[in-house]
Structure 1
């Protein structure tokens, strides 16, 4: 694995303008969906993005794949700045950055056969394959666990899990280096979520593809991702190695999220379990709080939190690469699940 990151994001920002007025519409505000993200993804690595609905996870995924134009910041892919690259400039890179969408029912064209859906990207990018596109599509169907004989079937003939497998096959068609998976299992039945996650994990290990895995299910993210970034209201509040983040969360919001993960306790530790219930709702991204954006729901908030936004940095006691954005981080010895000292 190269030391240079495959993907590097610095100060990434996306504000959606709010228009009002008639007959002349004026910009009267902006939805601050993503505001100053900093992270990197190495070759073959899986980075999980977690957080509540509306925190900017999906917008981040669309910015990375350049389906949305960033308002500010920088996106570098293999050392090349693609932040504002034109369609022509992005053409040779498009095949290397693919996306798996959240809704398997809306992401497939109902008028096209499975063969056409999967071979479409190869035709658009003028990619020649040994034995032709049909042979390659049948190989991809087999890789994702579908019958190659389904080549001429239409999407409505498949279940949700099978459709998502078709979406995975389409993403693999161009042999990408990076796949952004936008909540790929949230629309599926629990009984088949594990199958799709295991399929993605198998694909990642066998083909060495890097993943940005977007989800709100912390258990799924822990199973799939090597590193995890926690988002709140358009910002990353904590990022760390998977095990370090789950066992030693330093940000109050991360700790609150982890305390809500359902667990089955078979010993007396169940009585010691402490769940953190956050007060209030997530503030509007149109007018986010000053300073720390989590302060309106944080039990540790002070005047400092209202006047100064905490930077994302290495806190004393954290493992290397474990970054936290908090003025008053939790002690490293606090267990987020049971609220007891592990030392």
Structure 2
């Protein structure tokens, strides 16, 4: 990317709507666990992400949901190549980047950006807002029309901040304002894809809505694609066109938003949706599916289906065979589920509260 490049065009101008922007296949990340004395050696591996596959189209938003520790953030950092994958493929506009060198990644670094979870620790407290936002432009040697300072002020205005505050430091802003600064930094190079790693989880509820609405406006007006990582199912439903559900390093269900929320097929998805609070006090409440036990350790995940140790439908087959992620009969097109004994796709008022019996992980 040359120093003469400008940032006047929308990010997605070079990609047609619906074109596959990101294609992830078999993505795996295992963190080695070292032990032994006096000679240290690898004694195990944390299987943070294991054989994950999905696609993101130009201008599309893919929500990534699941419990803490399921591998969502690691997946996001792999996509942005902040982590080196153990195995698998990451293709950006058809170009393989999973194991690309820094030199090979340089031309596309500006097109894939990240919004970090914690607005308090992701901004350098010693740098002014202007320096923080203009940093990506300086690193990539980009001089926008009117200069970097003018571009910084423009970005601050886009995210709803006072352009005259570009000389202030992060500690002079609230949490919501700091996250807007992080959004402005991500927009500095007009990216085509942004990985938003739980961008509102550290904010107050009223501020969450403001930031989510801001991201949605940017997606609509600038054609930016998002991988939106979050715990809050209501926010994911509001923001994302498609949703992928992760459990213990694997995607167990992926579908368009309406299909997944209205007719989930995997028991884990059903349990997550039943646990979401109902904002309508007059509606017939769905009985809660209370999962027993903790999420198994990624150091030694269960054989077969990883959810079976907490699943009320688990049978012997679930321990011996890993279910493939496929489209089941009766599912909408593109609705993929990994389950030997899937739900019927009906979420309204289960007949009873389903509490699985404790099972030992094998």
Indicate the TM-score class for this superposition, using the shorter chain for normalisation.
over 0.9
Q: How many residues align?
A: 336
* C-alpha distance in structure 1 between counterparts of 2:140 and 2:75, whole Å: 25
Q: CA deviation at 1:21?
A: 1.6
Q: Name the CA shift for 1:23/1:95 in 2 (closer, same or farther; >3 Å).
A: same
Match of 1:296 among 309, 328, 341: 309
Match of 1:324 among 328, 337, 346: 337
2:10 maps to what in 1? none
2:50 maps to what in 1? 35
* C-alpha distance in structure 2 between counterparts of 1:181 and 1:97, whole Å: 11
Match of 2:141 among 112, 122, 126: 126
1:338 maps to what in 2? 349
Q: 1:8-47 deviations in whole A, cap 9, x for unaligned? A: 0000000000001223210000000000001000000000
Q: CA deviation at 1:199?
A: 0.4
CA RMSD of aligned residues (A): 1.0
Q: 1:278-332 deviations in whole A, cap 9, x for unaligned? A: 0111000000000000000000000100000000000000110000000001113
Q: 1:205-257 deviations in whole A, cap 9, x for unaligned? A: 00000000000110110000000000000000000000110000000000000
- Using the size of structure 2 for normalisation, the TM-score is 0.91
Match of 2:153 among 116, 135, 138: 138
Q: 1:77-104 deviations in whole A, cap 9, x for unaligned? A: 0000001000000000000000000000
Match of 1:203 among 202, 218, 231: 218
* C-alpha distance in structure 1 between counterparts of 2:189 and 2:203, whole Å: 25
1:305 maps to what in 2? 318
Match of 1:277 among 290, 303, 314: 290
2:233 maps to what in 1? 218
Q: CA deviation at 1:268?
A: 6.2
* C-alpha distance in structure 1 between counterparts of 2:79 and 2:201, whole Å: 21
* C-alpha distance in structure 2 between counterparts of 1:326 and 1:204, whole Å: 33
Q: CA deviation at 1:109?
A: 0.4
2:106 matches 1:91: yes
* C-alpha distance in structure 2 between counterparts of 1:133 and 1:260, whole Å: 47
2:117 maps to what in 1? 102
Task: After TM superposition, list the pairs within 5 Å mapping 1:76-87 onto structure 2.
Answer: 76-87=91-102
1:191 maps to what in 2? 206
* C-alpha distance in structure 2 between counterparts of 1:92 and 1:323, whole Å: 34
Q: Name the CA shift for 1:252/1:176 in 2 (closer, same or farther; >3 Å).
A: same
Q: Name the CA shift for 1:198/1:268 in 2 (closer, same or farther; >3 Å).
A: closer
Instruction: Structure 1: give runs of 5+ residues left out of the alignment.
Output: none
* C-alpha distance in structure 2 between counterparts of 1:265 and 1:79, whole Å: 45
* C-alpha distance in structure 1 between counterparts of 2:209 and 2:49, whole Å: 30
* C-alpha distance in structure 1 between counterparts of 2:338 and 2:275, whole Å: 21
Contact 2:18-2:59 at 8 Å conserved across structures? no
Instruction: Structure 2: give runs of 5+ residues left out of the alignment.
Output: 1-15, 352-362
* C-alpha distance in structure 1 between counterparts of 2:341 and 2:244, whole Å: 19
Match of 2:83 among 68, 73, 76: 68
Q: Name the CA shift for 1:278/1:142 in 2 (closer, same or farther; >3 Å).
A: same
* C-alpha distance in structure 2 between counterparts of 1:161 and 1:262, whole Å: 24
